[in-house]
Amino acid sequence: MTSKREIKCPHCGLLSLYSPENIYRPFCSERCRLIDLGQWADGTYRVPLKPQDGYQDADVEGADDENSDLQRSEEE
């Protein structure tokens, strides 16, 4: 009976139960779900113009990747 899975809440990062019991999944609570949806509606998230199928974990802090990319091209 260890089929229950826990995932990180996309909004606050807390572990939440990923099962039919958690009606707010993948979020941990109604609050996180509403907040997250609200941010989407506000355009707070940086979303690509073209909607893509694979909605990955909100990668909002991807600014560092650009820096590492620059460093890599300098080395080459």
Q: How far is the CB of 59 from Zn ion (least distance, A)?
A: 17
Torsion sign (Cα): 39, 41, 43, 45: positive
Q: How far is the CB of 65 from Zn ion (least distance, A)?
A: 24
Separation of alpha carbons 6 and 23, rounded Å: 14
What does the per-residue mask of binding to Zn ion show for 28-57, with x meaning CB under 5 A? x---x-------------------------
The tokens 């807390």 sit on which residue? 14
| Binding-site ranges for Zn ion (CB under 5 A) | 9, 11-12, 14, 28, 32
